Homo-oligomer: A and B are copies of this chain.
């Protein structure tokens, strides 16, 4: 397609999601870039329409490719969901590692993690990270997801325990505290909208205020 036609097409379809297959755009882009585009388009579709209501045909259409082309990058829908899940959990693991390595009272490091978690959860892969486990995946895939999630839970609990040990967090049921925190944060996936009054950092700060000081008045 001549450059002029490509530009015209690109303008006309500016509201459609970008596709690395589009003529004239990122022509030299490699396999990894195209695979990433499949994963991202899938994450958005799963979030908007749900996993069960998204077919590989829908996904191929949104990327303006054929279904056989998709199979060059991913073996099946379940594998795509798993990739989306991994893309969702990666920034959370990165924040955790950062907070574990940081110095200072563990309560402050826990709160830094809460901010990182809130930011990650509203991202493109947030829905997949939260809901992947509920989609009745095959046993092997389901087990992998459970393990990765349990790892986050364990490390979060260790951060709370470190706070109890260094005195920055009072004695509490660390397991239930981790569940309460994770619940408050994960629930954002149900109510948060991008046009909300508060951004993820402001929401995290409100949550931190509640969890830090408690609700008790006089």
Contact = CB atoms under 8 A, between A and B. Distances in A.
**Which 3 A-B residue pairs are closest in the complex by CB-CB distance?**
A183-B187, A214-B214, A176-B206
A167 B210 contact: no
A64 to B, nearest CB: 25
A216 B136 contact: no
17 contacts: A50-B135, A52-B52, A107-B216, A107-B217, A133-B190, A163-B217, A169-B215, A170-B217, A172-B215, A180-B184, A180-B206, A180-B207, A180-B211, A181-B184, A183-B187, A186-B190, A210-B214
Indicate how many identical chains form the complex: 2
Contacts of A50: 134-136
A199 interface: no
Size bin of chain A's contact surface: 35 or more
B163 A209 contact: no
Contacts of A179: 184, 187-188, 191
A101 interface: no
Contact of A170 (B136, B169, B207, B215): B215
A185 interface: yes
A206 to B, nearest CB: 4
Contacts of A180: 184, 187, 206-207, 210-211
A53 B131 CA distance: 16
Which of A169, A207, A215 has the most CB atoms of chain B within a 10 A radius of its CB?
A215
